[in-house]
Structure 1
Amino acid sequence: MLKEQFVPDTVFMYVSKGALQTYDGNKRMIFRAGEYGMAQKNRLVKYELVDNGASFEPVIFCFGESFLQAFKNKHQIEAKRNPFRDTFIRIPSTPLINSFMDSIKPYYKGVMELEEEFEDLKYEELLIILLKERPELAEVLFDFRKPGKIDLEKFMIKNFTFNVNMDQFATLTGRSLSAFKRDFKEIFGESPSRWLVRKRLTEAYFLIDKKSKKPNDIYLDLGFESLSHFSVAFKRQFGQTPTQLAMDNNI
């Protein structure tokens, strides 16, 4: 099942088993068993398990800002401008990284959990290895700037299918919640919640009517939490259910 998430902290991921497909609004990537990746913070992502999630097992390190700040000060690291645009960055497999993953096995308790006594040590060791193998990752790891105020109209038209709360949309556009709602009303002439539903339903109608998409194949992609919620909202907007529209178009 497709899921989506606001990524508040930088995340390092190793896929131990299975495969994961990711999408950040621009680019799709698949991470398979034995592969590494990093997700940049303050981003919107969608992801789903490949092959129905059979035996999917990730190992995840979530780097909080306070930990990274302390590491940066300790090692006197200077970060320049972040050169990475995509949310997900593929990290090549190397003997050093592979050896590190083997080294955490005695302390590994779960997806994001190590034995407490070793946690900070292993997080720091991983950072040292990543910076040795790919120094340019410093620009990702130690960029502590908050999202600046950006073009709200352009951002929302690009990201309207992400089902995240208004606080997160506000953060990503560099605004307080009240400023986000005020600017949104000035630009679109209605509240964010009403505009999002209408925009998603309009896109759904287009995909079913013009692109012959099946309702159950698109509702999650468009930010609806359930097929029943999608169907009720669609009928309220267009006077017929998405299934009826699909049948009318012989889908």
Structure 2
Amino acid sequence: MSESINYINYSCYFTTFREGEQFSSYNSLSMVISGEMELNDGVHQKVFRSGDVYLVRRNQLVKFLKKPGEESEFKSLSIRFDDEMLKQMSVDENFVLHERMKSPAFIELSGIQHLKYFMESLLQYQDLLENKSPELALLKQKEALILLFGHDPLLKNILYDVSAPYKIDLEGFMLRNYHFNVKLDRFAYLTGRSLAGFKRDFEKIFGTSPRKWLLEKRLQEAHYLLEKGKKSSDIYLDLGFEDLSHFSYAFKKQYGLPPSRLLS
């Protein structure tokens, strides 16, 4: 179950859960209360456990895997920072972004004790926040930002950057990120293009449509991994397929035999 109230989110899962679309559209500060959260941006992978605090950046491709503990469910607490609030704060502070900072899609902050204490204190407000107190939610959002910037002022260069992605190398981006399960309009947005412009540029570069290329690229990687002894159930989600039956059907259609035959 998950309750989302005024940008402060308390989550609880009793079984292992993977996010459907692997795209973070907003900045958020989170703490794992129990269980484990595994994050993977295609380059960096990290498992966060009870008491760990981390920041997830907006407009990033990230795989989220939530795992309950042996004797407890998965629980977490997150604060979402909406773009309009960040934009207004940057204006109030006369902040000027001189250069976009490059960093992983997520940043570990577990060693910052005052952030951990702050996140733990929010658990005491759960009932009030779930009763929809927008004034308190806004106050806690701003308090979290003050603590973040007090720890590292350079975080303003990340959180106050609410501009749209600029046009980047489409070929390199797709070769790095084809295994993320996101819609075409997300890929288009992240490469700084309209959907029509993305499709047009894509066909010029790859000589085929994005949907066909993505399917073939994912199946090629699946074929390679299956030959190495991997199981279909272990790889289909990591390659961007939403369910095992769809993966098996597409694989058989492409290669003329089901994935299980490749293992035998």
The question of a shared fold, defined as TM-score above 0.5 by the shorter chain, is answered with yes
Which residue of structure 1 aligns with residue 179 of structure 2?
A: 161
The answer to whether the 8 Å contact 2:35/2:69 transfers is no
Which residue of structure 1 aligns with residue 34 of structure 2?
A: 17
Which residue of structure 1 aligns with residue 47 of structure 2?
A: 30
What do the CA deviations read for 1:161-203 (whole angstroms, capped 9, x no partner)? 1111011000011100000000011111111111111111111
CA distance in 1: counterparts of 2:257 and 2:169, whole angstroms = 35
2:61 aligned to which of 44, 69, 81: 44
TM-score (ref. length: structure 2): 0.86
Displacement, 1:104? 2.4
Matched ranges for 1:222-237 at <5 A:
222-237=239-254
CA distance in 2: counterparts of 1:212 and 1:205, whole angstroms = 10
Residues 35/82 of structure 1: CA separation in 2 closer, same or farther (3 Å cut): farther
Displacement, 1:71? 1.5
Which residue of structure 1 aligns with residue 77 of structure 2?
A: 59
Displacement, 1:40? 0.9
Which residue of structure 2 aligns with residue 72 of structure 1?
A: 90
CA distance in 2: counterparts of 1:84 and 1:173, whole angstroms = 16
- SS of corresponding position for 2:39: strand
Residues 55/215 of structure 1: CA separation in 2 closer, same or farther (3 Å cut): same
The answer to whether the 8 Å contact 2:51/2:110 transfers is no
Structure 2 residues not aligned, in runs of 5+: 1-16
Which residue of structure 1 aligns with residue 158 of structure 2?
A: 140
Measured on the aligned residues, the alpha-carbon RMSD in Å equals 2.1
What do the CA deviations read for 1:208-233 (whole angstroms, capped 9, x no partner)? 11x11111111111111111111111
Residues 232/125 of structure 1: CA separation in 2 closer, same or farther (3 Å cut): same
CA distance in 1: counterparts of 2:64 and 2:215, whole angstroms = 21
Displacement, 1:111? 9.8
The answer to whether the 8 Å contact 1:60/1:112 transfers is no
1:129 aligns with 2:150: no
1:91 partner letter? L
1:124 partner letter? K
- SS of corresponding position for 2:79: strand
What do the CA deviations read for 1:101-159 (whole angstroms, capped 9, x no partner)? 24323422499996323011111111111100121211111112211111111111111
CA distance in 1: counterparts of 2:142 and 2:91, whole angstroms = 13
1:223 partner letter? G
1:98 aligns with 2:154: no
CA distance in 2: counterparts of 1:191 and 1:97, whole angstroms = 46
Which residue of structure 1 aligns with residue 236 of structure 2?
A: 219
Which residue of structure 1 aligns with residue 8 of structure 2?
A: none
Which residue of structure 1 aligns with residue 101 of structure 2?
A: 83
2:239 partner letter? L
TM-score (ref. length: structure 1): 0.91
1:243 aligns with 2:243: no
Residues 110/32 of structure 1: CA separation in 2 closer, same or farther (3 Å cut): farther
- SS of corresponding position for 1:171: helix
Fraction of identical pairs, as percent: 39
2:137 partner letter? E
CA distance in 1: counterparts of 2:24 and 2:248, whole angstroms = 29
CA distance in 1: counterparts of 2:250 and 2:127, whole angstroms = 43
Which residue of structure 2 aligns with residue 8 of structure 1?
A: 25
- SS of corresponding position for 1:108: helix
CA distance in 2: counterparts of 1:220 and 1:147, whole angstroms = 26
The answer to whether the 8 Å contact 1:23/1:45 transfers is yes
- SS of corresponding position for 1:25: coil
- SS of corresponding position for 2:22: strand
2:134 partner letter? E
